Amino acid sequence: MGHAIASRLIAEGFMVSVWNRTVANAKDTLALGSKWCKTPKILAQSCDMVLSIVSDFTALKALYDGDEGLIAGAKPNQILVDMSTIAPHEQQAMGKKFSSSQAFYLECPVGGSTRVALQGQLIGFMAGSKAVADEARTVLTHLTKRLEHVGDWGSGATMKLAINLPLMVYWQTLGEALSLIEPLGLDPQLVVDLFTDSSGGPNMLKVRGKMIAQALANHPSTEVTVNLSTMRKDVNTMLAFGKTQGKSLPVTQLTLASLSRACEEGWAQKDCTQMLTWWLTQNHT
C-alpha cells in the first residue's frame, strides 16, 4: 500500500522521499523517481509532510521512536500522518507522544485496495486536531475520494475497524454461498456476475470480481491486494477492541477461526480473493 500511495503522489506531481526497512522493499517506488532516505529521521527532516503506513503497532513505534525515528527528525509545525490499521488505543498512545512536540500527529487510516490507492479513490478517516486535519487535506485529497474528520485520536481506527468488519465477514459468507452452488459447475465469471448484480453482492465484487473469478477458475492473479495474514491481523484487532467495549462479535469470531486455519495451512501471503478457493477445498461435512 505504501508503494501505491507514493506512486499516486508522484503521478500527481509531488516530490516524494521514501524510507523502508530495506532499500530492496522500496525499489519499485525509487524507480518512479522518489528520493531514498537512510533513516526515518532524515526522511522527516527532508519533507514538508510525512505519511506512514506499516503493518502493526510494533512497527509503528520502531518507525517513530528512537534517535533515528521520525519524531527525532520532526520539524516545528510539521504534520506526520499515520495511515496504518491498528487498534484505537494504540493510535491514542501515538498521539500522546506529540503532546510536548512542536510537530503535529494526525491519524488517517484508509479504506480501499492498492488498486484503488493508485486511482486516488481511497476513503480516509482523519482523527486528531480538526485544524491539523484541514491543513493535511491539501495532500490527502489527492489520495482519496472521500476524506472525513471523525474525532480525536483513536476515532479513525475505530471507524476503519467498523467499516472493514462486514467486509471480512463477507469473505467467509461468500465462500459458504459458493459451496452451495459448486455442484452446478457454472462458469466462475457467470457466478461472480450474478452475485454482483444481485442483493448478494456488495461493492467489493465490482472491484475484485475479475480476480475472484480467476481464483475460482484455478488461475489466480499474481497481484496481492490484501493478504490473508493482514486480514487475520485486522480481525484479531476488531475482536480485541470489541472486548474492551463489552461487545460480543460471534460471527467475527468464526471468521477469525477460518482465517487462522487458512494461514496455518500456508495461505497467509495469498490474496484475499483466494480465501474462497481455500474454503472450497475444505472438507466441511
**What CA–CA distance (Å, rounded) separates 75 from 70?**
10
Q: Which of 35-44, 95-104, 202-211, 270-279 has the lowest mean pLDDT?
A: 202-211
Write down the pLDDT at residue 214.
94
- 164-180 pLDDT, tens digit each: 999 999 999 999 999 99
**What CA–CA distance (Å, rounded) separates 185 from 112?**
32
Write down the pLDDT at residue 283.
59
Whether pLDDT at 284 is above 80:
no
In this structure, the strands spanning 79-82 and 49-52 are parallel
In this structure, the answer to whether residues 13 and 74 fall within a common structural domain is: yes
In this structure, the answer to whether residues 29 and 139 fall within a common structural domain is: yes
Residue 67, amino acid: D
Write down the pLDDT at residue 70.
97
**What CA–CA distance (Å, rounded) separates 32 from 9?**
11
Please name the helix (run of DSSP H) or strand (run of DSSP E) that holds residue 258, with its range, or none.
helix 250-262
Q: Per-residue pLDDT averaged across 255-261, rounded? A: 96
In this structure, the answer to whether residues 94 and 229 fall within a common structural domain is: no
Write down the pLDDT at residue 201.
83
**What CA–CA distance (Å, rounded) separates 209 from 194?**
11
Write down the pLDDT at residue 285.
52
| Cα angle 234-23-126, degrees, rounded to a multiple of 5 | 40
In this structure, the answer to whether residues 126 and 245 fall within a common structural domain is: no
In this structure, the answer to whether residues 241 and 170 fall within a common structural domain is: yes
In this structure, the answer to whether residues 136 and 222 fall within a common structural domain is: no
Share of the chain above pLDDT 90, in %: 91
In this structure, the answer to whether residues 146 and 165 fall within a common structural domain is: no
**What CA–CA distance (Å, rounded) separates 59 from 37?**
18
In this structure, the answer to whether residues 14 and 141 fall within a common structural domain is: yes
User: Measured in whole angstroms, how far is the alpha carbon of residue 152 from the centre of its chain?
Assistant: 20
pTM: 0.89
Could you tell me which residue, 90 or 112, shows the higher pLDDT? 90
- 15-26 pLDDT, tens digit each: 999 999 999 999
In this structure, the answer to whether residues 99 and 233 fall within a common structural domain is: no
In this structure, the answer to whether residues 7 and 117 fall within a common structural domain is: yes
The residue range of the domain holding 235 is: 159-280
Write down the pLDDT at residue 209.
92
